[in-house]
Amino acid sequence: MLSYILRRIIWLIPVFIAVSLITFTLMHLTPGGPWDTLNAKTVSPAIRENIKKKYNLDKPLPQQYIEYMAAAVRGDLGPAFSSNKSVSQIITEGFPLTAALGLAALGIAIFIGIPLGVLAALRHNSIIDQTSMFIVTLGISVPSFVLSLTMIVLFSVAFRILPYQYQRDSWQSWLMPAAILALGPTALLLRLTRAATLEVLNEDYIRTARAKGLPTFVVNSRHVLRNALIPVITLLGPLTASLITGSFVVESIFGVPGIGRTFITSVTKRDYSLLMGTTLFYTLIIVAFNLLVDLTYSFIDPRITRV
């Protein structure tokens, strides 16, 4: 087990090198630089050279990359080009907000998706089942910006009951972004829980449990639920990772100052260090949660052993 964990962690090193190298190369291939918007008349070439020097852009690209990575390993992601803060500072400021919103959405998704999924499977082909499957299709095929704008038109324009802009200390302004963020994950959880429960219900051990006269409630909670939730837990890892890294769309529409929005601005402003920093941060979260899931998976289901 320990060697498995170690191997997995060591494997992360080439992943990080590859992701950072691809991002770095593509970023510098991208036409346009961070200082293109400076006025050519007022900013002399000498000043430009100084700016380049300050942000370490005057050296050859391979050297820039190695120096950047060497600093990044020590936790120093460098200064952001487009603001006075450092990249680490921007991430540590934006991330808690993004993560809080994501966790709120995850909470909604878990409390609606999983129970409804179990219920839909237990009452297979009933109205509840059909309604849930409709929610699933809706959640998967309606893009979040379409949903966001439709909800803004409904709740902010027509009924005027919810604010359309995020405000730090108004809980009402959290409702729409959290609900919209939750819809996709709710659909995924619902569909998976339903499918897993349906499969478990057909197992022989369920028939045995029923045949020996156990009350339905005991069969459902102890035998069905425990087995059906194993695949659901696997999904929770990547789901949490994607939720707490935020949504570019929802954050831009509702003006949430989280890292999802930061990422978009870093691309449009060609803020190299901010783009590299956020990409590495995203990758770290995604791989960490995938690893976590793989490990918990082998704990809950003893049939899966990894040597």
Partner 1 sequence: MATFQPARNIVSLKETSSEAITTPRQLAIKRYRKNRLAVAGLVVVLFFLGVALLADFISPFDYRYQASDGTIDAPPGHVDVKTGRVNTLGTDDLGRDILTRLIYGTRVSLMVGVVANLVVVAIGVPLGLIAGFFGGVVDNLIMRFTDIMYAFPDLLLVIIITATFGRSLWVVFIALGVASWVTMARLVRGQVLQTKQMDYVLGARSIGARSMRLMAQHIFPNILGPIMVLVTLGIPAAIIAEATLTFLGLGVEPSTPTWGTMVDAARPGIFSRPGEVLIPALAIAALSLAFTFVGDGVRDGFDPRTK
**What is the Cβ-side half-sphere exposure of residue 253, based on CA atoms within 13 angstroms?**
25
We find the least distance from the C-beta atom of residue 282 to partner 1, in angstroms, to be 5
We find the least distance from the C-beta atom of residue 120 to partner 1, in angstroms, to be 13
CB-count exposure of residue 149 (10 Å: 0-12, 13-18, 19+):
middle
| Contact (Cβ atoms closer than 8 angstroms) between residue 95 and residue 294 | no
User: Three-state DSSP class for 86?
Assistant: strand
- Please identify, using beta-carbon distances, which residue of 104 and 280 lies nearer to partner 1: 280
We find the least distance from the C-beta atom of residue 113 to partner 1, in angstroms, to be 18
**Cα torsion angle, 147, 148, 153, 156, sign:** positive
We find the least distance from the C-beta atom of residue 188 to partner 1, in angstroms, to be 13
- Please identify, using beta-carbon distances, which residue of 120 and 219 lies nearer to partner 1: 120
Separation of alpha carbons 213 and 233, rounded Å = 30
Give me 145's structure tokens: 């910006």
CB-count exposure of residue 213 (10 Å: 0-12, 13-18, 19+):
exposed
We find the least distance from the C-beta atom of residue 46 to partner 1, in angstroms, to be 29
Q: Give Cα 127 to chain centroid, integer Å.
A: 32
- Please identify, using beta-carbon distances, which residue of 113 and 184 lies nearer to partner 1: 184
Question: In DSSP terms, which residues pair with 86 in a beta bridge?
Answer: 79
- Find tokens 């995938």 and name the residue: 290
Q: Which residues contact 115 (CB under 8 A, 6 or more apart)?
A: none
We find the least distance from the C-beta atom of residue 266 to partner 1, in angstroms, to be 10
- Find tokens 């080439």 and name the residue: 14
The residues of the shown chain that bind partner 1, judged by CB under 8 A, are: 14-15, 18-19, 22-23, 26-27, 29-31, 137-138, 140-146, 149-150, 152-153, 157-158, 195, 248-249, 252, 263-264, 267-268, 279, 282-283, 286-287
Q: Using alpha carbons, select from 216, 218, 233 the residue that is nearest to residue 123.
A: 216
We find the least distance from the C-beta atom of residue 156 to partner 1, in angstroms, to be 8
Torsion of the alpha carbons at 212, 216, 218 and 220, rounded to the nearest 10: 110
- Please identify, using beta-carbon distances, which residue of 190 and 209 lies nearer to partner 1: 190
- Please identify, using beta-carbon distances, which residue of 182 and 187 lies nearer to partner 1: 187
We find the least distance from the C-beta atom of residue 45 to partner 1, in angstroms, to be 26
**Cα torsion angle, 231, 235, 240, 241, sign:** positive
- Please identify, using beta-carbon distances, which residue of 106 and 152 lies nearer to partner 1: 152
| Contact (Cβ atoms closer than 8 angstroms) between residue 105 and residue 185 | yes
- Please identify, using beta-carbon distances, which residue of 16 and 297 lies nearer to partner 1: 16
- Please identify, using beta-carbon distances, which residue of 148 and 227 lies nearer to partner 1: 148
We find the least distance from the C-beta atom of residue 48 to partner 1, in angstroms, to be 22
- Please identify, using beta-carbon distances, which residue of 219 and 280 lies nearer to partner 1: 280
- Find tokens 């405000």 and name the residue: 167
